[in-house]
Structure 1
Amino acid sequence: MAELIETMPGANTEPPVLLLQGTGGTNQEMLAFGRRLAPQSPLITIAGRQGEGQQRQYFSQTAAGPVDDQQVQMESLWLGQTVQQVCQSRHWDATRLITVGYSNGAAMAAYGLQSGHLPGKTAVLFRPLWLT
């Protein structure tokens, strides 16, 4: 799963930023966006485990069917644990984490923060999907 995670160093005095892409997005695109958004912050981007290549998602979704609540919860737990491990290994303060998400990633960010799975209390959500 290491291929799903990419980081970019920054000043340890700045809050780390977690970047979660939408379907079709890439870690490289999110890191470039994150660097423009928070030039001095350490950056973390973690691709979803559902799907392959550039069709990765944090949870499966279709226009015709509902979202699997159990899958969302499991992926949110995994994402939160992974973020904690990355922050700890790099000596970044996870309690100051700012989460930025787009579409599928924004929905996962909202769920992760509301459920307490993701550290931090701040999020910027672009075009979040409804999970109900």
Structure 2
Amino acid sequence: MTEIHSAYYPGKINLPPVLMLHGTGGDESDLLPIAQFLFPENPKLGIRGRISENGSNRYFIRHSDGTFDLDNLSQETDWLLKAIQTEANTHGLDVNQLIVVGFSNGANVAAYAWLHKQAPFKTAVLLHPMMITPPTKPVDLTGVQAFATYGTLDTIVSESNFDSLTQHLQTANAQVEIFKNQQSHRLTQTELLAAQTWVKKL
């Protein structure tokens, strides 16, 4: 297995660990301020995507025309899930307890892992995710909880695409709370405060 670039920040061992999955151009520590805001006392683990797009880190290949390499997406998601297990074992974390905080590319791979790979984690804050490709067979996500945000001024993700993703998650029995706000494809304090409110109800 290729080298895993990760960062671990210890926290209270009785609290569920947080898995940070960055957006395009981020790294394993990129979402630490967000994770710290939402889960100040939880242990935190970040894993860097191993694809480089013009020097920017990603979790899977995006072609120059904006389409995605679905074979690579499947392979890299398998790699990421193994990397998560490896790092969880190293730090004594339970992958089934992980709470994902993913932004954009990181949120996309987390949602794909649920719909296509039966990923073990049950909870996620998905910040500006999109549907890459719908599942090819029925999936059961009973027990899964997600908070998903969308900006109505987003030029990267269409509202119909975001709605398709959340509908697929809900059809698979996931509980999804949706937050839409007049913003672009970037994080705002408004959505993070809404995410914080959702987190407190977990």
Q: TM-score under structure 1 normalisation? A: 0.88
- Structure showing the higher strand proportion among its residues: 2
Aligned residues: 131
Q: Aligned to 1:125, what secondary structure does the other structure show? A: strand
Unaligned runs of 5+ in 2: 134-202
Aligned partners of 1:88 and 1:26: how far apart in 2?
Answer: 21
Identity of aligned residues (%): 36
Corresponding position of 1:13: 14
What secondary structure sits across from 2:83 in the alignment?
helix
Deviations 1:71-99 (A, max 9, x none): 11111111111111111121112111111
Partner of 1:119: 120
When residues 54 and 21 of structure 1 are mapped into structure 2, their CA distance, relative to the original with a 3 A threshold, is farther
The 1:100/1:53 distance shift into structure 2, 3 A limit, reads farther
Letter in 1 for 2:103: Y
| 2:147 matched residue in structure 1 | none
Which deviates further from its counterpart, 114-123 or 6-15? 114-123
Deviation at 1:119, TM superposition (A): 2.1
8 Å CA contact retained: 2:27, 2:47: no
Structure 2 equivalent of residue 96 of structure 1: 97
Alpha-carbon distance between aligned partners in 1 of 2:92 and 2:103, rounded to the nearest angstrom: 26
Between the aligned partners of 1:52 and 1:60, the Cα distance in structure 2 is 8
Aligned counterparts, 1:45-124, within 5 A: 45-51=46-52, 55-62=56-63, 64-116=65-117, 118-124=119-125
Higher relative CO (Cα under 8 Å, sequence separation at least 6) belongs to 1
Cα-to-partner distance string for 1:103-122 (whole Å, 9 max, x where unaligned) = 11110010112233532111
CA distance in 1, matches of 2:129, 2:35: 18
User: Which structure's CA Rg is the greater one?
Assistant: 2
Structure 2 Cα separation of the partners of residues 84 and 73 of structure 1? 17
Equivalent position amino acid for 1:40 in 2: E
Displacement of 1:52 in angstroms is: 6.3
Q: Distance in 2 between matches of 1:97 and 1:116?
A: 16
Q: 1:67 to 1:76 in 2, by over 3 A?
A: same
- Structure 1 residue 130, shift from structure 2 partner: 2.7
Does the Cα contact within 8 Å between 1:76 and 1:118 map onto a contact in 2?
no
**What is the deviation of 1:67?**
1.2
| Larger displacement relative to structure 2 (116-125 or 40-49) | 116-125
How far is the alpha carbon of 1:28 from its aligned partner? 2.6
Separation (CA, whole Å) in 1 of partners of 2:61 and 2:12: 35
Per the alignment, residue 43 of structure 1 pairs with 44
